[in-house]
Structure 1
Amino acid sequence: MSNFSWGPQDLSAPAPKKLRQVPVERGMILEDAVSGWVGEVVKTEKSGGMRVIVLEDRHRKTRSFQAGFGFLLEGEPVEIVEPVKKAKAPSTMISASGSRAVADLKARTARASRIWVEGKHDAELVEKVWGHDLRVEGIVVEPLHGVDDLAGAIRQFNPSPTRRLGILVDHLISGTKEERIVAEAMKVPGAAGNVLILGHPYVDVWQAIKPDTLGIKAWPVIPRGTDWKTGVLRAFGWPHATAEDIGIGWQRILSTVKHYGQLEPALLGKVEELIDFLTTEDYGFLTID
């Protein structure tokens, strides 16, 4: 016998006593207190601004009722209210480099190891795309402002198994002065196994940004003897006379880069390899069965 007594009253009206609110769900068994209809909730929808519940009885007949007061759930008078909206599963956040982003990231304490790049623009591009990954791993990127004395810089850094260097060099192709500089740098004591120098084929890191990112078909061809960045900005019709103009032009270019897919593979692979070198203890000694 139910402990709840309705008495001679309009059961579809709110009861003086506040009833427990129950969000409607498909599959629950409800009884309409006025008609005595008992059925399973097989459908619920909004109609004319009201929440309508469809109850199916044991004979598979259905009737529709307005949600609210006037229902019994396992003998208890309840108020049927709007269904609970299921929270959407959080989407996987992807960093600009394409890796899984770490939520609420607190930067790791910096490692002793470093990534060196030739200049400020190289460092800013690496930070723009790989900044999240670098903070996860605790890797600092530093600009060299040129590689003419790369051997001296490595010697001063004093690399070791716990203090590695990953170096990205512009225009590192066969027969160039950069190739000779790298060969000499790797002769520095302690460099073997602790220093990895990689390069991309571009005259400047600007070229590692895919042309269509800027809305152009190809990067301008700049005559030999002309400063490459100055020539590019002139070809774009942008101010190019001063160092400040070049800096502003670069920021306009950099602002178009949103993710790794806008960079050339020749740069992407090299940066990823340098990060792996600094974060994988057995880098270079992996074997495949």
Structure 2
Amino acid sequence: MGGDRRYGDDVLAGNWRRRRTVPEVDAEPDLVVEDADSGFCGAVVGFESGAVTLEDRHGRRRHFPLAPAAFLLDGQPVTLRRPAPAPTAPRQRQRTASGSIAVANQPARVARASRIWVEGVHDAALVERIWGDDLRVEGVVVEPLDGIDDLATRVAEFAPGPRRRLGVMVDHLVPGSKESRIVAAVDSPYVLVTGHPYVDVWQAVKPDRVGLRQWPRIPPGQPWKDGVCAAVGVAEPAEMWRRILARVRGYQDVETPLINAMERMIDFVTVPPPG
């Protein structure tokens, strides 16, 4: 690990492998950990013969024994354990990640003409993680836009109507922002543009879920994601995003403004057409 000090000065000091307080953690898929001996850092992608398989950001895979205190999670030693298999008996009134009552044995509905647009692929992945089950039941497709600078043009090309509604979720939708001025140009009763106040959808994830007391304050003019990575000691945004998404299991892990925006859009685009 060389001179990397992001884990503190004494993580490896003393006979830490024998500490009785080292916690056990389920090696859930996409959990990002570091092998304490080799420094190899990667996401959990599977198991093989008593070992866990990690994949780093370059796609390289290695197997590591599930030994006591053999890994670092957010800089702290942990013992990984293979998660217990999911119970086979169905639970009554199971809920989806969004908190909705799950519909058993319900096939995905044929996609509606209506759509939900989000700004980028990270937004789309987070929406899928929490609301994916609900959207498949409703037949609603979520599409990333790669930014909203041409939103008015894209909306006109979509040609919204009574049977072709459109919901758009916008990052940093606050009074006086560039985003608010772009949104003001969209005027259709069949389009709902809503959003959240966070600079990026990363910030809509509760900071304690990723081991932070609060999201770092990044000076204006500096790319926000790059600034966050530098502040927390992560090499690049792709690695940071994998860590963030791995910690999101449901609506409890994100802030209320994002939840409200998504629920409004789902309700809007699933309004039954007239006649």
Question: CA distance change for structure 1 residues 144 and 208 in 2, over 3 Å: closer, same or farther?
Answer: same
Deviations 1:42-86 (A, max 9, x none): xxxxxxxxxxxxxxxxxxxxxxxxxxxxxxxxxxxxxxxxxxxxx
Residue 267 of structure 1 aligns to a residue whose secondary structure is helix
Report the more deviating stretch, 268-277 or 222-231. Answer: 222-231
The answer on whether the counterparts of 2:109 and 2:139 sit within 8 Å (CA) in structure 1 is yes
Deviations 1:15-62 (A, max 9, x none): xxxxxxxxxxxxxxxxxxxxxxxxxxxxxxxxxxxxxxxxxxxxxxxx
Aligned counterparts, 1:1-289, within 5 A: 90-186=91-187, 192-240=188-236, 246-281=237-272
RMSD: 1.6
Question: CA distance change for structure 1 residues 176 and 89 in 2, over 3 Å: closer, same or farther?
Answer: closer
Report the more deviating stretch, 88-97 or 128-137. Answer: 88-97
Question: CA distance change for structure 1 residues 282 and 217 in 2, over 3 Å: closer, same or farther?
Answer: farther
Question: CA distance change for structure 1 residues 237 and 89 in 2, over 3 Å: closer, same or farther?
Answer: closer
In structure 1, distance between residues paired with 2:102 and 2:233: 38
Query: How many Å apart are 1:282 and its aligned residue?
Result: 8.1
Deviations 1:214-257 (A, max 9, x none): 121100111111110011111111102xxxxx222211111100
Residue 63 of structure 1: aligned partner: none
In structure 1, distance between residues paired with 2:239 and 2:205: 17
The answer on whether the counterparts of 2:167 and 2:268 sit within 8 Å (CA) in structure 1 is yes
Query: How many Å apart are 1:155 and its aligned residue?
Result: 0.6
In structure 1, distance between residues paired with 2:256 and 2:268: 18
TM-score (norm 2): 0.65
The answer on whether the counterparts of 2:120 and 2:145 sit within 8 Å (CA) in structure 1 is yes
Residue 38 of structure 2: aligned partner: none
Q: Could you tell me which amino acid in structure 2 is paired with residue 126 of structure 1?
A: V
Q: Could you tell me which amino acid in structure 2 is paired with residue 205 of structure 1?
A: V
In structure 2, distance between residues paired with 1:89 and 1:238: 40
Query: How many Å apart are 1:265 and its aligned residue?
Result: 0.3
Deviations 1:128-174 (A, max 9, x none): 00000000100000000010010000011011100010000010110
Query: How many Å apart are 1:277 and its aligned residue?
Result: 0.3
Q: Could you tell me which amino acid in structure 2 is paired with residue 251 of structure 1?
A: R
In structure 1, distance between residues paired with 2:162 and 2:183: 20
Residue 185 of structure 2 aligns to a residue whose secondary structure is helix
Q: Could you tell me which amino acid in structure 2 is paired with residue 121 of structure 1?
A: H
Highest CA radius of gyration, 1 or 2? 1
The answer on whether the counterparts of 2:173 and 2:196 sit within 8 Å (CA) in structure 1 is yes
Query: How many Å apart are 1:89 and its aligned residue?
Result: 8.1
In structure 1, distance between residues paired with 2:273 and 2:172: 29
In structure 2, distance between residues paired with 1:179 and 1:234: 29
TM-score (norm 1): 0.62
Give the gaps of 5 or more residues in structure 1: 1-87, 187-191, 241-245, 284-289
Residue 184 of structure 2 aligns to a residue whose secondary structure is helix
Question: CA distance change for structure 1 residues 105 and 175 in 2, over 3 Å: closer, same or farther?
Answer: same
Which structure has more relative contact order (CA 8 Å, sep 6+)? It is: 2
In structure 1, distance between residues paired with 2:227 and 2:256: 24
Q: Could you tell me which amino acid in structure 2 is paired with residue 207 of structure 1?
A: Q
Residue 184 of structure 1 aligns to a residue whose secondary structure is coil
Give the gaps of 5 or more residues in structure 2: 1-88
The answer on whether the counterparts of 2:119 and 2:144 sit within 8 Å (CA) in structure 1 is yes
Q: Could you tell me which amino acid in structure 2 is paired with residue 150 of structure 1?
A: L
Query: How many Å apart are 1:203 and its aligned residue?
Result: 0.4
Moved over 6 A (4+): none
